[in-house]
Structure 1
Amino acid sequence: MNTTNPEIVLGTMDFGTRVAPDRAFAILDSFVASGGVWLDTANCYSFWTDSSGIGGASERVIGAWLRARPGARDAVRIATKIRQNPLIPHSWPESAEGLSARAVRTGVEESLERLSIDHVDLLWAHAEDRTVPLEETVGAFGELVTKGVALRVGAANHAAWRVERARSLAREQGVEPWTALQLRHSLVQPRPLTPVAEAGHRMLTADDLDLARSDGLSVWSYSSLMWGSYVRADKRLPETYDHPGTDRVLAVLEQVAGELSATRNQVVLAWLMQQGIDPIVGASRVQQIEEALAARSVRLSDEHLARFAEAR
């Protein structure tokens, strides 16, 4: 795990759809000016809010920003994902591209074209595709690293045993294995064994952390700030989070934020980073990413961490 230098990652899912390009440019500019490095996108972002019914909008905005900002490519590292983009507009999941070798190669080629770059710094398998032999997917991802099209590869929304199996297959094939995990995680947790409403989301588990720590994998978390629910009264937590543990955690969060003169969002991000997790933060305004990046200077004491652990 990235226990020495966790970073805040800028999530760009809504760029080009809910977030207009000019506002996205301002967010990207502010992020880089404040020392931010990693951008997280996906080839399917965001087909569900795009009138075209297919993804690509977020990658196109990032590509336009890179073209408009000479030298910006050297200042950022770009992560994108393949697996979920619909091949037929408004037809998902039926026409999702999947993770066949052909789909992987085509997906990356199209992403690079939209992003106006010749390689990505990290390529994610966005979700499992059990219709394709894992050996085929692993080989296709490894081939991209060999060719320099992707510098690293990782697995998002995959079960820990599938990741470990894939890493074993990569060793057998002599190709680069997945070295990063991306899963949903935040300070509050849903009721145990209760599915979350968002299709395709996989929660971070103890097994995932065990795998990451034993094999030195980096861990990224998404939905880290629960869509604003920590700080906005109009953004209620989903019903699956309605249990006594949530109330206890939120009470401690309010106390700790006051003690540290920080916002609740900043405390949550600091809590994640002190576990070696790189939290992804989506932003629709410059002020939001500025607030998030300020969490890098927030330090929780052992006593703070113990209070959170007891509350959860």
Structure 2
Amino acid sequence: MAGMDITPPQIVLGTMDFGTRVEADRAFEILDAFVGGGGVWLDTANCYSFWADPSGVGGASERVIGAWLRARPGVRETVRIATKVRHNPLVAHSWPESAEGLSARAVRAGVEESLERLGVDHVDLLWAHAEDREVPLTETVGAFGELVARGVALRVGAANHATWRVERARELARQQEVEPWTALQLRHSLLQPRPFTPLAEAGHRLLTADDLDLARSEGLAVWSYTSLLWGSYERTDKPLPSTYDHPGTRQVLTVLDDVAGDLSATRNQVVLAWLMRQGIAPIVGASGVEQIEQALAARCVRLDDEHLARFAEAR
């Protein structure tokens, strides 16, 4: 089974806005700073970011990464690339009606287009971006396993999938004797929304205790997105959504400020350090070099057991 090179957990650079909200020149600066600071993993998707692109389809983020790779000979040897298939509109400005699914044909086509945009012959990790319950799970599992067998993807994983679907998919992979999903990507952060309240962000699925149990029992890698809640821990112009307005949030923020003061760290750095102490690799987006430099500095923040206990009690 292919190695993940993400133990202990590392900070992952999220590139969703590259080529749309973050222009290519600035994206190059961020990528250079990330790699220069010892960062390894880039996370993108074939659909990024169709909602912000005048074309109405995705691919901008992958094209920027591909251009950066061409402009930096040899850098491909030092970075790992993760991309996703599932959500890219097949008809411009028509989503979710024309969103690609997870049929074998759609998975193969999506990956081939991603490889062309990235200018590479393989990706290090391929995610199923979301569930597709209109396609038999056995077909999807077989398609992902085929890509690993061909060397097009070195590892495969599931993003925004229910725990039971991942477990079932892994069993189907064993039956088919193909590479199983060995990584999970879900939304997670120190602050949690009010229990049983639907998220406003369509398609987001929160990390659960069951996901962590599965990951720890079977050795799966876990990545978290929306790790810093759109900058809301530190930016007054980015208020938390109303679903985070509950007593637990206020309690956790009080502890967060105390711990950050103790460690001479920022709120964001403590949150990232807390995630990594859970064995979770946080995905961090950035619109400027200073943001990614601050995030990478979280690797030097050391939370002890007492800090973890204080957060657990507050949550």
1:17 corresponds in structure 2 to 20
Match of 2:269 among 266, 270, 291: 266
Alignment of 1:280-291 (within 5 A): 280-291=283-294
What SS does the aligned partner of 2:161 have?
coil
Structure 2: 5+ residue stretches without partners? none
TM-score by length of 1: 0.99
Runs of 4+ in 1 over 6 A off after TM superposition: none
1:304 corresponds in structure 2 to 307
How far apart, in 2, do the equivalents of 1:204 and 1:18 lie?
27
2:76 corresponds in structure 1 to 73
1:252 corresponds in structure 2 to 255
How far apart, in 2, do the equivalents of 1:2 and 1:32 lie?
15
How far apart, in 1, do the equivalents of 2:210 and 2:195 lie?
15
Deviation at 1:4, TM superposition (A): 4.6
How far apart, in 2, do the equivalents of 1:128 and 1:277 lie?
22
Count of residue pairs brought into register by the alignment: 312
What SS does the aligned partner of 1:94 have?
coil
How far apart, in 2, do the equivalents of 1:234 and 1:258 lie?
22
What SS does the aligned partner of 2:50 have?
coil
How far apart, in 2, do the equivalents of 1:73 and 1:8 lie?
18
State the AA in 2 paired with 1:6: P
How far apart, in 1, do the equivalents of 2:241 and 2:5 lie?
29
State the Cα deviation string for residues 46-69 of structure 1 (Å, max 9, x = none).
000000000000000000000000
Deviation at 1:91, TM superposition (A): 0.5
2:208 corresponds in structure 1 to 205
Deviation at 1:3, TM superposition (A): 9.0
Match of 1:214 among 208, 214, 217: 217
What SS does the aligned partner of 1:290 have?
helix
Structure 1: 5+ residue stretches without partners? none
Deviation at 1:234, TM superposition (A): 1.1
Q: Is the 8 A contact 1:2 1:276 kept in 2?
A: no
Task: Name the Cα RMSD after superposition.
Answer: 1.0
How far apart, in 1, do the equivalents of 2:153 and 2:18 lie?
22
Matched, 1:52 2:92: no
State the Cα deviation string for residues 90-124 of structure 1 (Å, max 9, x = none).
10000000000000000000000000000000000
Alignment of 1:1-312 (within 5 A): 4-312=7-315
Q: Which has the higher contact order (CA 8 A, sep 6+)?
A: 1
What SS does the aligned partner of 1:137 have?
helix
TM-score by length of 2: 0.98
How far apart, in 2, do the equivalents of 1:34 and 1:2 lie?
17
